[in-house]
Structure 1
Amino acid sequence: MFRLTSRTASVRASAMRVQPRHVHIQFAPTGQPWRRHPSSDPETPTVFTFYEKDTSTWQYIVVDPRTSEAVIIDPVLDYDPASGVLSTATADGLVSFVEHNGLKVIRILETHAHADHLTAAQYLKQELNGDVPVCIGQRIKQVQETFAPIYGLELSSLENAFDVYLGDNEEFKLGSLSCHVLHLPGHTPDHVGFVIGKAVFAGDSIFNPDVGSARADFPGGNVETLYASMQRLLSLPGDYRLYVGHDYPQNRDQTCFSTVAEQRAKNRHVKEGTDATTFIQWRKDRDAVLGAPRLLHPSLQVNIRAGRLPPPDEHGRVFLRTPVKLDVKLE
Structure 2
Amino acid sequence: MSDPVITAAAHQVLTALTSDKVPVVKTFFDRATFTATHVVHDPATRAAAVIDSVMEYDPAAGRTGHHLAQEIVDYVRGHDLKLEWLLETHVHADHLSAAPWIQEQLGGKLAIGADIVRVQDIFGKLFNAGTRFARDGSQFDHLFHDGETFMLGSIPAIALHVPGHTPADMAYVIGDAAFIGDTLFMPDYGTARADFPGGDARALYRSIRRLLSLPARTRLFLCHDYKAPGRDTFAWETTVGAEREHNVHVHDGVGEDEFVAMRTGRDATLSMPGLLMPSVQVNMRGGHLPEAEENGTRYIKIPIDRV
TM-score normalised by structure 1 residue count? 0.84
Deviation for aligned residue 1:315: 2.0
Q: Decide whether the 8 Å contact of 1:135 with 1:165 is kept in 2.
A: yes
Percent identical across equivalent pairs?
A: 41
Contact 2:162 2:207 (8 Å CA) reproduced: yes
- Aligned counterpart for 2:235 among listed residues 241, 249, 255: 255
Give the residue type in structure 1 aligned to 2:122.
T
Contact 1:143 1:304 in 2 (8 A): yes
Determine if the alignment matches structure 1 residue 46 to structure 2 residue 20.
no
Q: Which residue of 2 aligns with 1:19?
A: none
CA contact 1:145–1:155 (8 Å) conserved in 2: no
Map of 2:124 onto structure 1: 148
Equivalent position to 1:270, from 233, 250, 254: 250
Moved over 4 A (4+): none
Q: List aligned pairs for 1:58-137, cutoff 5 A.
A: 58-128=36-106, 131-137=107-113
Q: TM-score, normalised by structure 2?
A: 0.90
Contact 2:162/2:171, CA 8 A, preserved across alignment = yes
CA contact (8 A) 1:148 1:155 kept: no
* Counterpart residue identity of residue 271, structure 2: G
Gapped regions of structure 2 (runs ≥ 5):
1-16
Please state how far the C-alpha of 1:252 moved relative to its aligned partner.
2.3
Aligned-residue CA RMSD (Å): 1.5
Equivalent residues in 2 for 1:173-192, closer than 5 Å: 173-192=151-170
Aligned equivalents of 1:123, 1:205: Cα separation in 2: 26
Size of the aligned set, in residue pairs, is 287
CA 1:272–1:43 in structure 2 vs 1: closer, same or farther (change >3 Å)?
same
Q: Counterparts of 2:24 and 2:84 in 1: how far apart (Å)?
A: 15
8 Å CA contact 1:43, 1:196 repeated in 2: no
Structure 1: runs of 5+ lacking an equivalent: 1-38
Partner of 2:14: none
Provide the C-alpha distance between the structure 2 equivalents of 1:105 and 1:57, rounded to a whole number of angstroms. Answer: 21
- Aligned residue in 1 for 2:294: 314
Instruction: Note if 1:139 corresponds to 2:102.
Output: no
Deviation at 1:326, TM superposition (A): 6.9
Cα distance in 1 for residues equivalent to 2:257 and 2:127: 36
Q: Is the 8 A contact 1:73 1:110 kept in 2?
A: yes
Choose from 181, 187, 193 the match for 2:171: 193
Displacement of 1:155 after TM fit?
A: 5.1
Distance 1:290 1:325 in 2: 19
Aligned residue identity for 1:63: H
- Output the CA distance in 2 between the equivalents of 1:326 and 1:165: 31
Separation in structure 2 between the aligned mates of residue 248 and residue 306 of structure 1, nearest angstrom? 25
Distance (whole Å) between structure 1 residues aligned to residue 214 and residue 126 of structure 2? 38
Of the structure 1 ranges 52-61 and 39-48, higher mean CA displacement relative to structure 2 is found in 39-48
